Chain A
Amino acid sequence: MTVGPLTVTDLVVEFVHDGYAIRPLDGLSFQAQAGELIVLLGPSGCGKTTLLSCLGGILTPTSGSIRMGDVDVTKMKGKQLDAYRRDDIGFVFQAFNLIPSLTARENIAVPLTLTGHGRKESFARADELLEQVGLADRGGHLPSKLSGGQMQRVAVARGLGHNPPLLLADEPTANLDHIQAEAIIRLLRGLSDDGRMIIVSTHDSRLVPIADRIVHMVPPDQHEERPTHDVSFAAGESIFEQGDNAQLIYVIESGEVDVIRILADGGEEQLNRLGPDQYFGELGPFLGFPRSASVRARGDVVLTAYSPRVFREKVLHKH
Chain B
Amino acid sequence: MILLTFRDLIYRKTRFIVVTLLGAVVFALLFVMTGLVNQFNLEPAEAAEQFGADQWVLPVGVSAPFTSVSVMAIAELDAVDAATKSPVVITRSSVAQGDGGTPEEVVLVGFEPGGLGAPQVIEGRAPQAAGEVALDRSLDVSVGTAITVAGEPFTVVGSTEKMTVLAGIPLAYLVLPEAQVLAFTSTDVISSVLVSGELGPLPEGLVSLSSDAVVAQTLQPLEGAIASIDLVRALLWIVAAIIVGAVVYLSALDRQRDFAVLKAVGASNGSLLGSLALQAMLIALGAVALAAIIQVFLAPQFPLPVTVPAEAFWQLPLLAVVMALAAGAIGMRKVLRSDPSQAFSGAA
Contacts and interface: CB of A to CB of B under 8 A. Distances in A.
Contacts of A102: 3-4, 7
Interface string A90-125: 110111010111100010001101110000000000
A82 B257 contact: no
A81 B56 CA distance: 77
Contacts, number: 87
A99 B347 CA distance: 13
Nearest to A87: B266
Interface stretch (A51-59, A243-251, A258-266, A293-301): A51-59
B7 A95 contact: no
A52 B344 contact: yes
B18 interface: no
B341 interface: yes
B3 A85 contact: no
B83 interface: no
A85 B257 CA distance: 17
Interface string B306-347: 000000000000000000000000000000000011011111
B271 interface: yes
A158 interface: yes
A101 to B, nearest CB: 3
Of listed A52, A91, A159, A162, residue having the most chain B CB within 10 A = A91
A33 interface: no
- Tier of interface size on chain B: 20 to 34
A82 B265 CA distance: 9
Nearest to B260: A97
B264 A58 contact: yes
Given A93-B343, A97-B343, A86 B10 contact: no
Interface in B4-31: 4, 7-8, 10-12
A53 B12 CA distance: 31
B267 interface: yes
Contact of B348 (A49, A95, A115, A161): A95
A114 B347 contact: no
A99 B344 contact: no
A158 B258 contact: no
Contacts of A115: 265-268
A224 B343 CA distance: 35
A200 to B, nearest CB: 13
A36 interface: no
A94 B344 contact: yes
Nearest to A96: B348
A127 interface: no
Given A101-B8, A102-B4, A91 B347 contact: no
Contacts of A91: 261, 264-265, 343
B238 interface: no
B293 interface: no
A175 interface: yes
Chain A's interface: helix, strand, loop or mixed, by majority? mixed
B266 A85 contact: yes
A282 interface: no
A159 B265 CA distance: 8
A95 B260 CA distance: 13
Contacts of A113: 1, 3
B4 to A, nearest CB: 6
B257 A101 contact: no
A106 B265 contact: no
Interface string A157-173: 01101100000001000
A93 B261 contact: yes
Contact of A99 (B1, B258, B266, B268): B258
Nearest to A201: B344
Given A85-B266, A99-B261, A110-B4, A58 B10 contact: no
Interface string A52-73: 1100101100000000000000
Interface in B239-287: 257-258, 261-262, 264-268, 271-272
A175 B8 CA distance: 26
B267 A53 contact: no
Nearest to B339: A58
Contacts of A114: 1, 4, 262, 266-268, 271-272
A97 B264 CA distance: 11
B340 A58 contact: yes
Interface in A162-189: 162, 170, 175
Given A85-B264, A114-B272, A115-B268, 12 more contacts: A53-B344, A91-B264, A91-B265, A94-B344, A101-B7, A101-B8, A106-B7, A110-B3, A111-B267, A113-B1, A114-B268, A114-B271
24 contacts: A58-B340, A58-B343, A85-B264, A86-B266, A87-B266, A90-B265, A91-B261, A93-B264, A95-B347, A97-B343, A99-B7, A101-B8, A101-B11, A101-B12, A102-B4, A106-B3, A106-B7, A114-B4, A114-B262, A114-B268, A115-B265, A115-B268, A158-B265, A161-B265
Closest 8 CB pairs between A and B? A86-B266, A101-B11, A114-B267, A95-B347, A101-B7, A115-B266, A111-B265, A97-B261
